[in-house]
Amino acid sequence: MTIRRLSWLAAGVATVAVAACSRASQTTTSFPDRPLTLIVAYAAGGGTDTTARLLAQGLGTAIGQPVIVENISGGGGWTGWSAIAHARPDGYTIGYINVPNIFAGYLDPNVGRPERLESFTLLMNHVTDYCIWAVRRDSPFKGVADLVAAANATPERVSITAHGYGGDDHLAIMAMGEASGARFKVVHNKGTAESKAQVLGGHVDVLAANVSEVVAEQAAGELRILGVMAPARSPFLPDVPTFKEQGFDQDWSVSRGIVAPNGLPADRLKALAAALESTLTGEAHRAGAARLGFAPELIKGPMYLDFLKTKEQRVKALMGW
DSSP 4-64: HHHHHHHHHHHHHHHHHHHHHHHHHHT--SS-EEEEESS-TTSHHHHHHHHHHHHHHHHHT
- Give the model's pLDDT for residue 29: 57
Nearest CA among 246, 228, 251 for reference residue 143: 246
- Give the model's pLDDT for residue 262: 98
Instruction: Report the b/e string of 20-55 with b at 16+ CB within 10 A.
Output: eeeeeeeeeeebbeeebbbbbbbbebbbbbbbbbbb
Percentage of the chain modeled with pLDDT above 90: 77
Which of 193, 227, 246 is where one domain is finished? 246
- Over range 106-120, report the average pLDDT: 94
Which of 246, 271, 287 is where one domain is finished? 246
Same domain, 139 and 238: yes
Q: Tell me whether residue 41 is in a domain.
A: yes
For residue 193, the enclosing domain spans 134-246
Question: Is the predicted pLDDT of residue 61 greater than 80, yes or no?
Answer: yes
Q: Tell me whether residue 18 is in a domain.
A: no
The burial of 213, by beta-carbon neighbours within 10 Å (0-12 exposed, 13-18 middle, 19 or more buried), is given as buried
Q: Tell me whether residue 20 is in a domain.
A: no
Distance of CA 311 to the CA centre of its chain: 14
Percentage of the chain modeled with pLDDT above 70: 91
Q: Tell me whether residue 9 is in a domain.
A: no
- Give the model's pLDDT for residue 212: 87
- Give the model's pLDDT for residue 17: 43
- Over range 104-116, report the average pLDDT: 93
- Over range 153-165, report the average pLDDT: 93
User: Distance between CA atoms of 259 and 37, rounded to whole angstroms?
Assistant: 12
Nearest CA among 103, 104, 127 for reference residue 117: 103
Q: What is the CATH number of the domain that holds 240?
A: 3.40.190.10
Same domain, 143 and 239: yes
Q: Tell me whether residue 166 is in a domain.
A: yes
Instruction: Write out pLDDT tens, residues 199-242.
Output: 999 999 999 999 988 988 999 999 999 999 999 999 999 999 99
User: What is the value of pTM for the model shown?
Assistant: 0.76
Q: Which residue has the higher pLDDT, 4 or 320?
A: 320
Q: What is the CATH number of the domain that holds 53?
A: 3.40.190.150
Same domain, 58 and 123: yes
Same domain, 308 and 171: no
Same domain, 229 and 141: yes
Total domains in the fold of the chain: 2
Q: Spell out where 229-282 has E strands.
A: 253-261
3-state secondary structure of 262: coil
Q: Tell me whether residue 299 is in a domain.
A: yes
